[in-house]
Structure 1
Amino acid sequence: MIGKIVFVVPDEKVAATAEEVIHELNEDIEVYRGSFSEGLKYARLAVCNGANLIISRGGTGNLIKRNVEIPVIEIEFGSYDVINSIHKAIQYSNMIGIVGFSGLSLTYKKVSSILEKTFSAKIITTTIKSEREIEHHITNLYLLGCRVFIGGQAVMDVLDRLGYAGVLIETGKEAIAEAISYAKGIMEVQMIEKEKAAILKSIIDFAYDGILGIDKNGLITVFNPVAEKITGVVYNHAIEKSVDDVIENTRMIQVLKTGIPELGEIQQIGNTSIVTNRVPIVVEGEILGAVATFQEIEKIQKMETQIRKKLLAKGHIAKTTFDDIKGKSKEILKTKEKARLYAGVDSTVLILGETGTGKELFAQSIHNASLRGDKPFVAVNCAALPENLLESELFGYVEGAFTGARKGGKIGLFELAHRGTIFLDEISEMSPNLQARFLRVLQEKEVVRLGDDKIIPVDVRVIAATNRDLYKFVEEGEFREDLFYRLCVLRLDIPPLRQRKDDLYELVSYFLYEKSKLLNIRIKGISSESIAKIVLYDWPGNVRQLENFLERCVVLCAGDVINVDVIDEAIIGIPTHINGTEDTDKEVQNSNRGVLKHIENETIKNILEETNGNKSLAAERLGISVTTLWRRLKNMEGSEE
């Protein structure tokens, strides 16, 4: 059982019955026998020992109820108990007097008219308020003709002394069982309310806001630790005191009177500025109090700054890994192997490669494979911002550093990348002034915000990239030589697509799948003639150009297989770097033909595998006839022999 219930009863017989019922119900309830003052003594002892509820009867119950702070349940007399007492009393006289406390007398009054008709008796009830009144009431009833009396043990004691007949009202099992059931229900509600109160107290006490509550009289009922700290008033000096006597400028009484909430109000408490919300507590249309929540403005500002930092840092993540870089050519595999070695150390990396080769993909993959993989990856394009803006973005600035500087200043990208990696794309476009500042960051591992003299240590790995001949820039005096050598500790050259045409089939398959899914257009495959067209093109824009080209092909494709007509339409308007013309070197032509043959064979094998050897379906997907497919399969078998 949750909580503790105790019986305090006035006589031995009730105590015995209670113990019998408790045993039958398998309850863990203590029973004490004591009448009036003795019963109150036991009740107080039970409260000291942790009792949550007391069950008692009659005058003893009334006395306990007035003198303890926990609920007291009075045992109701059952119908059988009442009828049985009248049956016994009628044997003495048909003039019956009922003497008892309010519970007993009320029970008999409710049924007296029925009982009088049933037993042909006259029943007079009287209510006593204390033990001292018993004899007086018995005497009055005797004068009215009553010759037998019904009551509790205290009444029986007086009747014995006066020599009058009496019947003890007995408490049956049914009444005791009902009292226990009712008490358990009360206990359950009590425990639920205590749990709610404990949860609410924890929320109030540990809330980040100060919380102040008042009742309808303006007395403080809630005052949490944060409110103590902000106001400088201790709990004991605030609780149950008038709010205007404790805190200045609260306007809580005004909210109590008007019932109108006041939200986001600035308020001064001593030397502390706070922002506060005040709202009335309204129950069924009646204002029963008001509550205010408030925070120090300075803390709110600091919190917002921290939140901005965290949100910004969360956006700087590397999404690509080496597994995301497609291709199995020896050129790309060799590059990935070298990049994995670079990921194992913390040295600066310079990535060189033409536009669209995937320099940032390699930078992200190196970061993710390194020990810094769970830290920020901050990417910035040095060519995308003018010099002054790039400087403020990289190094940050303090408030008032320049006209238009944000209030509170701004954290720089080097600081945001702390313990992680910063990727500087198109590093060749950095101005000489910025190159000097950047060199200092690399050498000293520290930054100074614009307009500030405070040095901020940073632990950042630098990966730079360019599509230019950076050493040529050094020779021409456009790029610092010392910075070049600082950056080029580890060099990674990304091969252009024209040098890794063995990867074309995998790249084409991957991009067609991704673009058709993105655009919700069903594409089954691409014909071998279309692959041939793609192989013969040099792709000056490299993988990025190929990706965009294939997206255009997916949109233009009227069927579910991309054929030569789609390729020809999609290629209109792009630079012609197609090999195989009369001016093209014979060696390059022969190389392309070899690559084309290899890709064609691989394409046929892959599609046959995807169609489970169904040559008709494979021919359909390839955009050729079944006869042509048979012929090419035969040629493939001959070449393998």
Structure 2
Amino acid sequence: MVRVLLVGGGKGGTALLRAFHSMEAVRVVAVVDLDPGAPALGLAREWGIETAADYRPYFRGVDVVIEATGDVGVYREIDSARPPGVTLVPGPVAELLMTLLQEKEQLIHRLSRQRRELDAILNSTHDAMMAVDQAGCITLFNAAAQRLTGLHAAEVLGTEAKTTIPNSRLHIVLQTGQAELNQLQDLGRVKIITNRMPVRDEDGRVVGAVAVFRDVTELFGLAEEVTNLREIQSLLEAIINATQDAISVVDREGKGILINPAYTRLTGLGPDDVIGKPATVDIAEGESMHYQVLQTRRAVKGVPMKVGPARREVIVNCAPILVDGELKGSVGVIHDISEIQQLTEELDRAKRLIRKLEAKYTFEDIIGHSPSFVSAVHLARSAAQTPATVLLRGESGTGKELFAHAIHNESARRYHQFIRVNCAAFSESLLESELFGYEEGAFTGAKRGGKKGVFEEASGGTLFLDEIGELPLPTQAKILRAIQEKEIVRVGGSRAIPVDVRIIAATHVNLEKAIQEGRFRQDLYYRLNVMPIVLPPLRERQEDIEPLARQFVRKFNQDFGRQVEGLTPRAIARLEEYSWPGNVRELENVIGRAMIRVGYTDTWIDTVHLPLSDLGAGQINPEEPEDERTLEDVVNAAEKAHIQRVLDKVNGNKTEAARRLGISVRNLYYKLEKLGIDP
């Protein structure tokens, strides 16, 4: 072992110390540096290595001195002071030698690992392998070869193949240089198929030979078993084809070997679809009972599943086929229950889990091409890439929840919980327990052990607070604390619980006005309004009405089992004339009702199918008033007059006017241009 004295405790000395410490052939006797705070000295003390400010006392106990200060004067001083037999190595030279040594060790380690991997591969393969060198001596004898021949590798490696294994012909392959392929040999207790190939060097000279051989005794046995199965199959076919119950039979590998006509009538799958295919080929929903029977050798009964392209609901009974105690396959009897089974719909999972939802929608589900809407989508995509709180603002039905889902699904929290809470749906006391949870005994009826609130359940994920503008003031204060301090206190508790929640809030309320009226906290407003996104109403994005309507037609085609192709230009024009106070939600309702009115022979929605007369004050085609103005003209006139009044009050200040109107400045400019208001 080489004893090393390291002079210099800076970065270079530290790197050398770490390298030498990991090398078994090197022992660092001491680390020397004038600076007691040098990093290498601290590391040396941690590892139990001596440290000092003077190197001279250590000359007698070392073989090599590494000068790692980089100071020429220090190098010369050590060189003049070192005793004979002690080698002085500059730091850069030591680093080079160390690098070469490390690379050598890594190369040796890599070659050893590769050899182990090769041995593992050769010994794990089912095929037996044997190789000889140019002299005919055995150099490779894997585990499969040992099993087939009954010989141990230790006995045969290095011996002459033709002596140790008399029936080997590798010595002949060495002589002739000719391959021998697909040779059948009888070794007494087993039969093998072998391939023998010469091994040549880069000059084409034969330098060895290799044989790969496989036991085919089992194949002969399998051939006999298949013959037996065919006999059984012939016997069963007459019985199976006569029954009215659907029957399928698979072999012990789970491949279909027999079905009857009743099976084809039930599933819609013929012999070409099933025979020779895996047992799962007919399953639309559920797991293969054939595979379960083959694995357990036990019958199963009364298992519900859906089969065939039509997803027919069935009950399956399956049993193993045993011949003389040997498993030959599985037979299944399938009973059609689709016409008699009465299904009970499961309660809405969102209600059962207290409005807990998985985020179902992404930005690809959001439809819209108008500039204002595209801008909102772009802003939402940007918000998704940050942990900032998002405030979604817009009228009812503009898609705020859709945006919340999409933001969560594109954020780094997409694989964690997404929980929605409608703040307007609870009383103040109940809302607090839902948001923050409660401790055991907090109130009459409190669950034993207490209950987590949605802030805890959503920790690591996203909490969507819908209708945030309807929060009572006391609850607003607690939500403000949760956002600021990232911790909550359960109802009836005193312990602060840390939470990591991304907040997305939504409201149709004019929060600025609510602040002035004392109904909303200004500090909470600033916490929520970090990334405001305003969703324009549908009346301001008329170019999106047609693509939205077509999307709803596709949706209701699936829901209602219809094949409506779309809307006529007249119907689209009529929809675009309407002001849509209920926004996209109202458009979806109108399209759904129109789909119901479309006859089964009709493939297009026309104006006659639109629910004109039952929409009351919001009808699409209102009766013209006496002054012959359309509803849109009346709405535009009223909107124009109100905007003009607000502008007059604020002396033309656009920012203040937009704030009072509860819209964005960009939206205000759009309305000024649309309504012809002189700014």
Task: Please indicate the TM-score interval, normalised by the length of the shorter structure.
Answer: 0.3 to 0.5
User: Which structure is higher in helix share?
Assistant: 1
TM-score for the superposition, normalised by structure 2? 0.40
* Greater RCO (Cα-Cα under 8 Å, separation 6 or more): 1
